[in-house]
Amino acid sequence: MARLVTHAGVPDDADVRARWDALVAADPLGTFFHSARYLELWAKVLGTRATVRVHEVLEGDETIGFVPVALSLEGSATGPLEVVRFLGGDQVTDYLGPVAMPEHRLTVARTYLAQLAEDGDWDEFVAGGLVVGSGWDEHWSTAAGELGLAGLPPVPEDVCPRIDLTGGYGAYLDRLPSKLRHELRRKARKLARDAGDYRLVEVPVAEHDEALTRFFEMNVVLDDEKGRFFASDEMRTWFRALAEALGPEGTLRIHELHVGGTPGAACVSIVHGGEWGLYNSAFDPVLAMLAPGMVIVAELIEVAAGEGCTVFDLLRGDEPYKYRFGPVNRELVSASFQRA
């Protein structure tokens, strides 16, 4: 019979973290966003107002799952609610939720919800960021129904467009529709012709702070949601914390596209486990008509393939530019349940 061990906060015990890391690596849907290192950093920088709990699910002596959550007070039409969400927050964390092998996911959902149902300090459990086809949405609904928790059917939350790099860059280009291949080459030629020669530069770790300042400046001049996002001191602190913690080991990368000798676009990437994630990007609005943002992403796809990555993940959001690279959507849904 499965049982639950609850850790207050993200545990620093080396054995617990080793078990967690092993499950992230084994889980077909495990990503760096599910790792103890990433979620610990999120809790320290952005999750300071939440109560963090990491639930370890065991069958006998074997750890079969981890369910990291955060409990926080949120406003609603009926007043403040105590809401449990998966640790990480969907503003900056592209994939959320538990880690477990497919054959153990229903047991993990049942075991965690059984304890949650006994607790009295919550009003709503939001199971967000669930990958369609993973079984998690059905498992949470099944477990909630068995326990008498009221729930709403899963609803679409977002998509993560993903590019298959299996077989390398040449194989990717062969799979890309000829119209898209032509369009990418045309944009690269036009940028070079009208703005000067360009080259992709990986920013050295020692220069990450300066590069992030340029990255923020490119974004904040935009009069839109993204501009407001990067005008926030909290978000700037988050990106700098990520770079400081993950840059030296190469998990976080910053690239710039130097056009005519000056930065015309920039990308922040998360590279882990054979997948290259495009975490965020920016471009100089002066060059907007020449699409430097498209050119830098095309360059990064080739770099990722050259490093042996099998997936280039454009991460959350269905912005039109992403579909010019031939990705396939990974759909995310969210389910919510109320305390009986």
What is the per-residue pLDDT across 173-214, written as a single tens digit (0 to 9) for each? 999 999 999 999 999 999 999 999 999 999 999 999 999 999
pLDDT at 119: 85
Local structure of residue 204 (DSSP, 8 states): P
Q: Residue 223 pLDDT more than 80?
A: no
pLDDT at 202: 98
Tell me which residue of 236, 238, 242 sits closest to 45, measured CA to CA. Answer: 238
Strands 262-272 and 275-283: antiparallel
Task: Read off φ and ψ for residue 82, nearest 5 degrees.
Answer: -85, 110
pLDDT band at 221 (very low <50, low <70, confident <90, very high): confident
CA atoms within 13 A on the CB side of 121: 5
3-state secondary structure of 128: strand
Q: Residue 76 pLDDT more than 80?
A: no
pLDDT at 65: 98
Instruction: Calculate what percentage of the chain has a pLDDT beyond 90.
Output: 88
Q: Residue 290 pLDDT more than 90?
A: yes
The amino acid present at 204, given as its one-letter code, is: P
Which residues have C-beta within 8 Å of that of residue 113, sequence separation ≥ 6?
A: 125, 140, 143, 144, 147, 149, 337
Helix, strand, coil abundance in the chain, percent, nearest 5: 40, 30, 25
The pLDDT tens digits of the residues spanning 122-152 come to 999 999 999 999 999 999 999 999 999 988 8
pLDDT band at 56 (very low <50, low <70, confident <90, very high): very high
H or E element that contains 294: helix 292-306
**Residue 128 and residue 101 in contact, taking contact as beta carbons nearer than 8 Å:** no
DSSP state string for 86-116: ETT-TTT-SS-S-B--GGGHHHHHHHHHHHH
**Residue 207 and residue 248 in contact, taking contact as beta carbons nearer than 8 Å:** no
What's the predicted TM-score (pTM) here? 0.94
C-alpha 299/C-alpha 184 separation (Å) is 10
C-alpha 95/C-alpha 131 separation (Å) is 8
pLDDT band at 252 (very low <50, low <70, confident <90, very high): very high
Q: Where are the alpha helices (DSSP H) in 27-168?
A: 36-45, 105-118, 136-147
pLDDT band at 297 (very low <50, low <70, confident <90, very high): very high
C-alpha 224/C-alpha 39 separation (Å) is 28
Number of residues that this document lists for the chain: 340
The pLDDT tens digits of the residues spanning 306-328 come to 999 999 999 999 999 999 999 99
Q: How many CB atoms lie under 10 A from the CB of residue 231?
A: 14
Q: Average pLDDT of the chain?
A: 95
Task: List the single range of 104-113, 224-233, 267-276 with lowest mean pLDDT.
Answer: 224-233
C-alpha 66/C-alpha 56 separation (Å) is 5
Which whole-number Å values give the CA distances from 243 to 24, 211, 255, 279, in the listed order? 22, 10, 12, 12
